[in-house]
Amino acid sequence: MTNTASSLVGVRFIGSGSAVPDRVLSNYDLAQMVDTTDEWIASRTGIKERHIADGEADSVANLAAKAGQKAIAAAGLTASDIDLIILATSTSDDLFGTAGRVQKILGAERAVAFDLVAACSGFVFGLVTASQYIRSGVYKNVLLLGADVLSRWVDWQDRRTCILFGDGAGALLLQASPDHQPNNLLGFEMRSDGKGNDLLNINYSGRSTFEPISMNGQEVYRFAVRRVPEVIEKSLHSANLEVHDLDWLILHQANQRIIDAVVNRFGIDPAKAVSNMGKYGNTSAASIPIALDEWVQAGKIQPNHLVAIAGFGAGLSWGSAVFRWG
Ligand code: UT7
């Protein structure tokens, strides 16, 4: 199918959902496991507790399906309306992909389903990917999921990483706008730099096994503080907008200090910078849609509000998208 710019279909953002495991692991619990304190973790990261998967009930597929069901219901649709399911995850239940399992649980029989792996940038890259299928007129209803169970891949003896991560899933329903209605995806920018690939990995270690997560925290921190504002500015620029036009800024929930640094750099009201990592830790591809859903459920994000999201992480990869809610 070919399209000229003038015939591109608009994208709407019409429903969100999220799901986390019931089991909560606090900083105090972690202090019983490794040489750390609540004070160190909270002051260096902003994290107080995180939700941790407890067996098969909290598999990537089950968490993603729960979040997806809520997003489909919030959009006023049923599973049979879904044309495409994109599951952004780096912690698949199955190396062949988990999206098919989600499709089965949802009963979304008409949909085509596939996984997208881009670590903590997965939700942003997935949102741009999903939008292209809508813009080109190929699909009408796309369910985008971000789900990760990084607790499976954490070395619980490594205090530099085990304090950071939590498990969960978030979902967003994107829909083709009716004829001549505006496109609510206003701008985006995606970047990769493989030269930084060895800064954050879950490496294959031979004989059907992987190493636990390894990270150069200081370098990743520096990368995020430097690169994230650039992609936000670029996506705003392509939308002819300025940072002060934004109602909400949702960064990947990795570290409160990274959010604070970006807020300071832009000089925006800190209340516009969504933060919930105190309760969830870093849930990788799920962190942005969990935060988005929480703010939508609370009635803070309203129809027509301008929202910028930005993800960053392994790859290295980073990206931003600006959209109007609704
Ligand atoms: O989602 C993917 C993106 N990932 C990120 O965005 C992570 C970015 N990086 C970070 O958020 C931060 O680098 C961390 C939170 C991971 C670490 O904070 P930091 O301020 O960079 O700490 P550091 O690694 O420089 O360590 C400072 C000290 C060290 O001790 P010495 O060498 O100064 O004696 C560490 O051994 O803190 C020590 N330390 C800890 N102490 C208590 C490291 N981890 C812990 C801990 N508890 N859990």
What does the domain layout of the chain look like in residue ranges?
A: 9-176, 185-324
Query: 168's torsion region: left (phi>0), alpha (psi -120 to 50) or beta?
Result: left
Closest approach atom of ligand 1 to CA 45:
15
Nearest CA, atom 47, ligand 1 = 36
- 215 to each of 24, 285, 316, how far by Cα in Å? 24, 17, 12
**Alpha-carbon gap, residue 92 to 107, rounded angstroms:** 20
Region 147-164 average pLDDT: 97
Region 15-39 average pLDDT: 98
44 lines ligand 1 (CB under 6 A): yes
- Asked if residue 4 has pLDDT above 50, the reply is no
Kind of pairing between the strands at 167-176 and 112-116? unpaired
Residue 282 is among the residues annotated as catalytic for this protein? yes
- Asked if residue 228 has pLDDT above 90, the reply is yes
Active-site residue among 51, 62, 184, 252?
252
254 lines ligand 1 (CB under 6 A): yes
Region 135-147 average pLDDT: 98
**Alpha-carbon gap, residue 54 to 14, rounded angstroms:** 31
Active-site residue among 62, 120, 184, 255?
120
- Residue 7: pLDDT band with limits 50, 70, 90: confident
283 lines ligand 1 (CB under 6 A): no
- What is the four-CA torsion angle of 317, 319, 325, 326, rounded to 10 degrees? -70
CB 141 within 8 A of CB 83: yes
CA of 320 to the centre of ligand 1 (A): 25
pLDDT at site 215: 97
Residue 162 is among the residues annotated as catalytic for this protein? no
What element of type H or E holds 68?
helix 60-74
Domain 185-324 has what CATH class?
Answer: alpha beta
Residue 89 amino acid letter: T
Please list, in sequence order, all residues whose beta carbon lies within 8 angstroms of the beta carbon of residue 101, skipping any fewer than 6 positions away: 61, 65, 93, 94
**pLDDT tens for each residue of 39-67:** 999 999 999 999 999 999 999 999 999 99
- Asked if residue 180 has pLDDT above 90, the reply is no
Nearest CA, atom 6, ligand 1 = 254
- Asked if residue 2 has pLDDT above 80, the reply is no
Nearest CA, atom 36, ligand 1 = 160
Please list, in sequence order, all residues whose beta carbon lies within 8 angstroms of the beta carbon of residue 92, skipping any fewer than 6 positions away: 60, 98, 115, 117
**Alpha-carbon gap, residue 14 to 70, rounded angstroms:** 12
- 265 to each of 188, 232, 260, 268, how far by Cα in Å? 20, 12, 8, 8
b/e sequence 202-222, b meaning 16+ C-beta within 10 Å: beeeeeeeeebbbbebeebbe
Helix 287-297 and helix 60-74, axial crossing angle in degrees, nearest 10: 30
pLDDT at site 6: 56
Beta bridge partners of residue 24, listed in sequence order = 51
N- to C-terminal Cα distance for the chain? 27
Which of 112, 117, 107 has its CA nearest to residue 147? 117
Q: Is 307 exposed, middle or buried (0-12, 13-18, 19+ CB in 10 A)?
A: buried
**By mean pLDDT, which of 24-33, 177-186, 227-236, 289-298 is the weakest?**
177-186
9-176 and 185-324 agree in CATH topology: yes
Kind of pairing between the strands at 141-149 and 84-88? parallel
Region 63-77 average pLDDT: 98
The residue length of the chain stands at 326
285 lines ligand 1 (CB under 6 A): no
Domain 9-176 has what CATH class?
Answer: alpha beta
Q: Give residue 174's Cα distance to chain centre.
A: 15
Beta bridge partners of residue 145, listed in sequence order = 87, 171
Helix 287-297 and helix 122-135, axial crossing angle in degrees, nearest 10: 70
Percent of the chain with pLDDT over 90: 95
Residue 51 is among the residues annotated as catalytic for this protein? no
- 190 to each of 52, 248, 283, how far by Cα in Å? 30, 19, 20
Give the dihedral sign, CA 257/259/260/265.
Answer: positive
Give the dihedral sign, CA 103/133/325/243.
Answer: positive
160 lines ligand 1 (CB under 6 A): yes
